[in-house]
Structure 1
């Protein structure tokens, strides 16, 4: 008899109102999902049941009814479809069930890790997701848990929003028994977190969920897809609601994510509600333009190298140990993409390629001096005896994750801690293989060298050449300053017409060189200076109003620190409201191009003025 069926443990072959159970797919605190078959077709059957005995069974039933109402309101190709629903067994005590599409594919996090999408493919996926979110909000439905695990992609690459167990709709009864509704903590909006902090000691307070909360959650997913090669595995990620804004996708990927897309992603995460899109329709529109981009930085570039997404190759004799905080192995650093050197656009890419082909004389001389110094120091140092072998850790059992075939059931959210969790951004590190040439003891393979052996002049010359080649290989494209080139006409027009700036000395904006250095580790006690550790992308801001651009306008660009000065070029300005315009602004100090390096500067630590003047130009000098 149906009412005697155990909804938590239905066996293959059992029938639920004509749906034959094939297998159990998964379960959570409020539901269990099965694969079922009817008339030769496969579906997912979601059964409402109180798995967690500490909860209220009546609330479980109410949640299931609310999920049915939400799904009845929706009809969109990128939202999971409900085909049937009912109550099995006794009309009063039987269990509710919902029949849904069986989605054969990956969660969004798995899709990033296993299919290696391009920038354009990421854009297309989120364009469809924001279109689905717009449809949802137009019908008064909020998902409330748009996390990486609640978005799936079919084997054909089509996204599907699943799991409406935490969803809500207008005029629905209040079921939340805490200050905040169920949600993945990482995807909570800043205003929700602020409400939680302000009402820690008020158990009766209830946060009013808004459409902007769903928009922020989807923006958090976009940020993780663009910045994390294994988003479904990573644990130590930068907080999205902290006092310091997370690094932009452009900076994290060293230019592999185009600057415009990076700026858009950061706008979705802006701590101020006024700076974020108010509706899903507003959030969708920029993605429509990005989807039309045809350049190689969109169509041919992946935000992450395949090597950063593959599991580590097991060492001889057993699996490689896994570093703590790096699921799947050590993160492989992402090399610089040409757009990180000269901004986005075809002209910029061509300029970057020229810069890589012709390093300047100063950079080459610096490499020679460095190589000579290293060789001279190591050639007169005795080689230590071979160290004892290091015992490897035991084998680590690794099992392949089972493919996700249906909607993931709703899980009971964990209680928030007394203080919001903070996550530290991982810093990629370069590690050489054990048998690679190193400079530690002055020879390529120190364990094979004789401790008393003296090198001949020929060998010393060979070592010097080898050292130079090795260093240069690690410093591909080193240049002390960028090459002169014409500023794109669109940037000249934007500065003149939209910003009211004049080129050639007419406009000299004051610039905070790098806003991420508000609390840097200074090499001097003078807080008028900041430290630049490497060449790369930079985010500055206007220190005062300039024309039609207000104080605080963000400027995206690039810094060069290899030579005797710090050079900087800013190529994008983000105006209030999130709109970006192209610009051409160079860093200057007095009448000189670039910034003076201050006392305490050394390779890898360039100390420069925290604020400097800029110069709007029609041609980069």
Structure 2
């Protein structure tokens, strides 16, 4: 139902409409008893016709009303006036994060500050066993003094109809919002893969949506764009964001944190948003550093599973062969980010580039990676411990195009233009 200015719902006087969505119409209203302005969300008429659904919503609303956090818009209550059911909510004015992003990408430092506050809201709710399920820029408000408020916390579940959990064709967005294309499009781009498939969700679903929101703040573009709902959902399930769109000011640690937020496999995703918050708070206190080794053009090419490399090199007309037994171990997944316009492997001719298979080597103990990276003019070796974010250059390895481990040493293969191989042994740094 639509209400006009001056209409009354119990002791609330409607002042003006302020929004409309799949979960009902929203009005600014005056609480005559307490003398304050509030937001009134009038539930759809069909809602009251389903008594069981309404009772379930009442239970959810009571739990949500118990949330008390400065970054979560409060729910004051669920009330009824005659046949109209409505929620009384904290009125949060000013622009949404979606409106802010529409003006362009948000500077990295500001985006991190906003993201920290969003993560604090999620952390508070997750600790109470609550999931947002519909986190997106349109559900986040930013006040002029820098405060952040997350709206509609948990209401997606409260509004959701009961559907057989095993039926993966019943996507929450596609079934619940029906023909409201604007709402569907606004939600689909922030759904986790498991949510898009209609599977059971948990707090890691919010962590995925959080990553999509942060990506959009940094780039000004959606992580998973599309012209229609099927295309958007296909991107969410199958495609990677355009990682090259991230600004140069994004540090390696922030990039890796974001990649992990947007893992398709939720088992590989951040389990607790509190860990994400801690990472961002540390980043906000550290000066940005961009002296990392040369970067790959695509982070997508750097998502490694198990790494096992052998190498062969020609030295002074003799053939040197090195091999060691293969062993089955645990899978190590790591991200290496290096400077723009660079790639793994050697510089120079296509023949040299063909040796890129030796561009990376994993130490026998599985703790250290040594790799060669090139900016197109020259290449060198870098060393990185798997428990650290950053790689450091190895001295005196300019021109190296590949590497392999031999027992406890790293052998750098320097290939000169006449294809004469020079072997140089480098003692690895002690852990």
- Answer whether TM exceeds 0.5 for this pair: yes
**C-alpha displacement at 1:105, in angstroms?**
2.2
Is 1:144–2:133 an aligned residue pair?
yes
Is 1:260–2:209 an aligned residue pair?
no
Partner residue of 2:214 out of 200, 222, 239: 222
Per-residue deviation, residues 558-599 of structure 1 (Å, max 9, x unmatched): 7412x4xx5366586654xxx52443256723767689799x
Partner residue of 1:122 out of 111, 124, 127: 111
**C-alpha displacement at 1:276, in angstroms?**
2.3
- Counterpart of 1:106 in 2: which secondary structure? coil
Partner in structure 2 of residue 74 of structure 1: 67
Partner in structure 1 of residue 292 of structure 2: 343
Alignment of 1:134-283 (within 5 A): 134-164=123-153, 166-168=155-157, 175-176=162-163, 179-182=170-173, 184-193=187-196, 196=197, 207-226=199-218, 228-231=219-222, 241=236, 245-248=240-243, 251-253=244-246, 255-283=248-276
Question: Quick check: 1:30–1:60 contact (8 Å CA) kept in 2?
Answer: no
- Counterpart of 1:281 in 2: which secondary structure? helix
Partner in structure 2 of residue 589 of structure 1: 401
TM-score, length-normalised on structure 2? 0.65
Counterparts in 2 of 1:115 and 1:60: CA distance versus 1, 3 Å: farther
Per-residue deviation, residues 370-411 of structure 1 (Å, max 9, x unmatched): xxxxxxxxxxxxxxxxxxxxxxxxxxxxxxxxxxxxxxxxxx
- Counterpart of 1:61 in 2: which secondary structure? helix
- Counterpart of 1:44 in 2: which secondary structure? strand
Per-residue deviation, residues 72-124 of structure 1 (Å, max 9, x unmatched): 231111111122331111xxxx2211111221122223223448643222112
Q: Distance in 1 between matches of 2:381 and 2:40?
A: 57
- Counterpart of 2:172 in 1: which secondary structure? coil
Partner in structure 2 of residue 32 of structure 1: 25
TM-score, length-normalised on structure 1? 0.47
Question: Quick check: 2:383–2:391 contact (8 Å CA) kept in 1?
Answer: yes
Partner in structure 1 of residue 375 of structure 2: 560
Q: Distance in 1 between matches of 2:74 and 2:150?
A: 10
Question: Quick check: 1:63–1:165 contact (8 Å CA) kept in 2?
Answer: no
Is 1:42–2:37 an aligned residue pair?
yes
Partner in structure 2 of residue 545 of structure 1: 362
Counterparts in 2 of 1:122 and 1:232: CA distance versus 1, 3 Å: same
Question: Quick check: 1:588–1:595 contact (8 Å CA) kept in 2?
Answer: no
**C-alpha displacement at 1:235, in angstroms?**
5.1
Q: Distance in 1 between matches of 2:108 and 2:268?
A: 24
Alignment of 1:420-459 (within 5 A): none
- Counterpart of 1:141 in 2: which secondary structure? coil
- Counterpart of 2:189 in 1: which secondary structure? helix
Q: Which structure would you say has the larger RCO, counting Cα contacts within 8 Å and 6 or more residues apart?
A: 1
Counterparts in 2 of 1:60 and 1:580: CA distance versus 1, 3 Å: same
**Count, aligned residues:** 347
Counterparts in 2 of 1:545 and 1:526: CA distance versus 1, 3 Å: closer
Structure 2 segments unaligned to the other structure (5+ residues): 174-183, 299-333, 403-411
- Counterpart of 1:580 in 2: which secondary structure? coil
Question: Quick check: 1:106–1:154 contact (8 Å CA) kept in 2?
Answer: yes
Q: Distance in 2 between matches of 1:144 and 1:571?
A: 41
Please provide the CA RMSD for this pair.
4.8
Partner in structure 2 of residue 435 of structure 1: none
**C-alpha displacement at 1:27, in angstroms?**
1.9
Question: Quick check: 2:71–2:117 contact (8 Å CA) kept in 1?
Answer: yes
Partner in structure 1 of residue 323 of structure 2: none
Question: Quick check: 1:513–1:541 contact (8 Å CA) kept in 2?
Answer: no
Q: Distance in 2 between matches of 1:173 and 1:512?
A: 38
**C-alpha displacement at 1:287, in angstroms?**
1.4
Q: Distance in 2 between matches of 1:138 and 1:528?
A: 51
**C-alpha displacement at 1:220, in angstroms?**
1.7
**C-alpha displacement at 1:246, in angstroms?**
3.3
Q: Distance in 2 between matches of 1:38 and 1:175?
A: 34
Per-residue deviation, residues 435-486 of structure 1 (Å, max 9, x unmatched): xxxxxxxxxxxxxxxxxxxxxxxxxxxxxxxxxxxxxxxxxxxxxxxxxxxx
Per-residue deviation, residues 307-342 of structure 1 (Å, max 9, x unmatched): xxxxxxxxxxxxxxxxxxxxxxxxxxxxxxxx3xx3
Q: Distance in 2 between matches of 1:117 and 1:222?
A: 10
- Counterpart of 1:20 in 2: which secondary structure? strand
Question: Quick check: 2:367–2:385 contact (8 Å CA) kept in 1?
Answer: no
Q: Distance in 1 between matches of 2:84 and 2:365?
A: 62
Give the structure with higher Rg (CA): 1
Partner in structure 2 of residue 317 of structure 1: none
Q: Distance in 2 between matches of 1:84 and 1:278?
A: 31
Q: Distance in 2 between matches of 1:181 and 1:75?
A: 27
Partner in structure 1 of residue 325 of structure 2: none
- Counterpart of 1:224 in 2: which secondary structure? helix
- Counterpart of 1:42 in 2: which secondary structure? strand
Partner in structure 2 of residue 12 of structure 1: 5
**C-alpha displacement at 1:212, in angstroms?**
1.2
Q: Distance in 2 between matches of 1:595 and 1:268?
A: 42
